[in-house]
Chains A and B, each alone.
Chain A
Amino acid sequence: MSAFIGIDLGTTYSAVSYIDDTGRSKIVHNSAGSNITPSCIDFASGKAEVGEEARKSLGLSDTIAARFKRDMDSTTTTYNIEGNEHTPTDCSSIVLKKLLQDAKAAIGEIGEAVVTIPANFANEARIATMSAAKQAGLDVKYIINEPTAAALYYAFQSGDGLHGHYAVYDLGGGTFDVTILKVEGQDIEVVTSGGIARLGGDDFDTVLQKIVQKKYKDSTGEGLEDADYTKTDAEEDKKSLSKRDKVNVRVMRTNIKVTREEFEQEISSLVAQTEMLCESIIDEAGITVSDIQEVLLAGGSTRMPVVLESIRRVFKKDPVASVNVDEVVALGASLYAAYKGDQSKLSKTQQNSIKKIKVAEVTQQFFGTISMKYDENRGESREGVSILIQKNEKIPCSVTRTFYTSHDGQEAINCQITESGSAEEDSKFVNIVANTELSLPPNRPAGKEIEVTYSFDDSQIMYTSFVDVESGEKTILEFSTTDASEGSSNKIDKFTVE
């Protein structure tokens, strides 16, 4: 029987889990016997070696690719390594291939897989992740937000122990997410999520690297190259600073002392950003901190004392880390794979184990279209965004709104589907996730009704239709923000004019 697996494709480390015979989620050990695999690739000599050896060479060799998850929303970024161009999607695919290979070696045949993504990943990054999974040869039907996966595992582990509102605080190597959920046993309803795409352990490592470089210069008068004190060195020293008050760094025959206090002072702006996001998300959820039963932790950076202190300050309670924070996202992902996948492929025991799981999602973004709007202050019509589906709408949902043609003889409408994290009115601050044209009959006066409908079904597939009421002409678009079945390349092909 092929296994259901969940993959946490992390910025710095990745992990894989599977559903074992008892129906529980277990971590897959990699070929080196470790629970987590560094998301680093060494392209030396035309090969692509993923793992710890590549991580150790980070900053020392030009052949290393790392932290590419942060560029997954970029359509232009490439890494030139030894004369070859690699996109972030290519690199993610290489890591996924390695994870798949190790998983096959450890547990045998692989069936359906779920890959996790940060809660605030843009549409491009979601699609790029799916594309990487396909390139790696994975049968990925769904993706799941990392905090939701973590919450699922916490809920699963506690049996029927969780009731009420919970916050998942997920600070990993490259991204920060916070999600508020309503949990009743293993029934999970996402209330709202937010994230910072570029804030994680890697940024803390950079800060520590700079502290050491500055101290070295102050002490010797000479500059210190990145290769003399690498990110990997900084990462190890950062971990030490989580356990003790100071570290002594030996670099270029010079001893440099860095105290935890100094380090925490330097990263306080980054921590302040996580606090602002948490407060905003609590506001967005329409609750207060006293409504939150527990703060559930995920991600290795939550081990830092300054982070734990910040969580206590914001949430007014001690956080919970009853599971391994490096593994919890992957562990939740395989549960989700089994829950959403073809359950006839599970044994009775496995089916029984996951039967109480229920996950209800909400829309992650605001979805709208571009239209002309009358600006009373300026006394003129201007182009602006009209939002049809709000963020945090419970899925499934559907909204229909009527718009009107703006001028006589209008023969077409540009149908643009916008996506944004805030309720933006300015088209400058939205992503156009799809774009097509609706042809209209000629020689008509302005003011003809155009009925626009946006809806999400249970599978989180979004449907939009633009209908000219008088003629019945319409254009329909179907696409998904989480379903792997459609990639970006054929997204536009799904436009049909009836």
Chain B
Amino acid sequence: MLGFLKKAIFGQRLEPIQIQVQKSYLNEDTDMPFLEIQCKGLFPVHTTTKIGLMTSVFTRDSEGELSPVLSFGDAFQESETVAFQHLAVIGEIDAGQGFLEWIHVGSVPLGILNPSFGGMQDLIIIVRLVDMYNLPDISLGFGEAGIWKGLVNYKYNFKLKGYEEEAEDIDKARALSIQIGMAVAMADGELDDAEGETLKAWIQKMIAPFGDEKQKKLKKVYNDAMKSSYKSAESGDLVLGNICKQLNEIGEDAQKYEAVELAHEVMAADGVVHAEEMKVIHKVADALGIDNDELERMRDQNTVGLDLSLGGSDLESSLGIDISWSNDKKLKHLRQEYQKWNNRLNTLSEGDERESAQQKLDLIAKARKKYGG
């Protein structure tokens, strides 16, 4: 960066410092756009100072307030937050020095930016001229001005969702998870107290990290989801297909797994595995495209220690068998399940957990007889 100073013309009268941006690409063959921050003019320092240029990026929200733009790249983040920041060291300069020409003093790789909302956004790029020995206190792009602060705008169309949008979608996805949990709870026609408590505890856990205002808002959203889905389930109008479709549209994988995990927790709440509950969970997992191994892991974790005797009425659901499988595949699955639970027996706590695992082994043996191994 010191090399830029060689381009400065000393002793000449310089314009005041100014900045501009230019879109560029890492190289001609790649489609990796970035904004080149350029600077020219006189640096407003009165003594010899080691200077740098610190770049932060914002967008404006619907109320016109600045929203920090975050960064997916570690090298372009503030030290304490994930907000975008790029610090370019210029070097030691004296009073009266500056750049006569536009010099490249910073970069904003557009691909790593994570704004609050996606789509066409007006990026507000703030560049601070800073004393490298006395850096301003900046957090999420906000803070002291430094020696000088300039601003430049650039319009850019973001293809991915912004973080605020994602947060809103997470809220919506969690409301859908509650509806799925209710569908599992009501699979046997009634909401058991333990199942209701499980849903309540889950909501409390989900809202806990937020401040009062957001908690209040989320409580309403989640409580409404619980009440409405209960009513729908009571009247037989809770359409799982629609709920899963919406979750697929707005939810990331993490939310889908969260929903299926909640479904398992609700199923396990009363200590008994009902075949109807397992059926609902399989339907949901299938609609959400949950990986089979993951589903098995969740099922194993949540059914350990539970009474499986009621699951015997539907062996297939209880044991994770897809009835469309060939007989050979069913038998192979049963062998693997048997081997797994047999091996687990002595790792489980004595009492309920071991008894439940033994029940599972008995169910597997029953299924083996059914499929004529």
Contacts and interface: CB of A to CB of B under 8 A. Distances in A.
Interface of A: 73-74, 76-77, 120, 122, 124-125, 194, 196-198, 268-270, 272-273, 275-277, 279-280, 283, 377-380, 420-422, 424-426, 428-431
17 contacts: A76-B350, A120-B342, A198-B358, A268-B369, A270-B365, A273-B365, A273-B368, A275-B373, A276-B365, A276-B373, A277-B338, A280-B339, A283-B335, A377-B294, A379-B253, A420-B343, A420-B347
B224 interface: no
B292 interface: no
Nearest to B304: A428
Interface band, chain B? 20 to 34
B361 A422 contact: no
A379 B338 contact: no
A276 B258 CA distance: 34
Given A280-B338, A377-B254, A378-B253, A429 B365 contact: no
B257 A272 contact: no
B254, B342, B350 — which one has the most chain A CB atoms within 10 A of its CB? Answer: B342
A323 to B, nearest CB: 28
B366 interface: yes
A276 B339 contact: yes
A425 B300 CA distance: 12
Nearest to B256: A377
Given A268-B369, A269-B365, A279-B335, A421 B344 contact: yes
Contacts of B206: none
Contacts of A377: 253-254, 257, 291, 294
B362 interface: yes
Contacts of B346: 73, 120, 122, 124-125, 197, 421, 431
A422 B257 contact: no
A208 B348 CA distance: 29
Interface string B249-264: 0001110011000000
B368 A422 contact: no
B335 A431 contact: no
Interface in B321-373: 334-336, 338-340, 342-348, 350, 358, 361-362, 364-366, 368-369, 373
Contacts of B159: none
A496 B291 CA distance: 43
A360 B153 CA distance: 74
B301 A426 contact: yes
A198 B354 CA distance: 12
| Secondary structure of the B contact surface, majority rule | helix
B46 interface: no
Contacts of A424: 344
A269 B369 contact: yes
B205 interface: no
Contacts of A430: 347
Contacts of B365: 269-270, 272-273, 276
Contacts of B291: 377
B103 to A, nearest CB: 34
B254, B300, B339, B373 — which one has the most chain A CB atoms within 10 A of its CB? Answer: B339
B368 A429 contact: no
Nearest to B336: A280
Contacts of A125: 346
Interface in B230-272: 252-254, 257-258
B155 interface: no
Contacts of A196: 342
Given A197-B346, A379-B254, A422-B340, A276 B300 contact: no
A379 B294 CA distance: 14
B319 to A, nearest CB: 12
B254 A425 contact: no
B297 interface: yes
Given A269-B366, A275-B368, A428 B340 contact: no
B48 to A, nearest CB: 33
A73, A268, A377 — which one has the most chain B CB atoms within 10 A of its CB? Answer: A377
Nearest to B343: A421
A410 to B, nearest CB: 19
A122 B347 CA distance: 8
A269 B254 CA distance: 40
A227 to B, nearest CB: 25
A218 B91 CA distance: 100
Nearest to A432: B347
B301, B304, B346 — which one has the most chain A CB atoms within 10 A of its CB? Answer: B346
A74 B344 contact: no
A424 B342 CA distance: 13
A428 B301 contact: yes
Contacts of B338: 273, 276-277, 280
A379 B368 CA distance: 37
A277 B254 contact: no
A280 B368 contact: no
Interface in B169-189: none
A43 B232 CA distance: 64
Contacts of B343: 120, 420-422
A270 B253 CA distance: 41
A428 B356 CA distance: 14
B127 to A, nearest CB: 30
B255 to A, nearest CB: 9
Nearest to B346: A122
Interface in B188-218: none
Contacts of A273: 338, 342, 361, 364-365, 368
Nearest to B368: A272
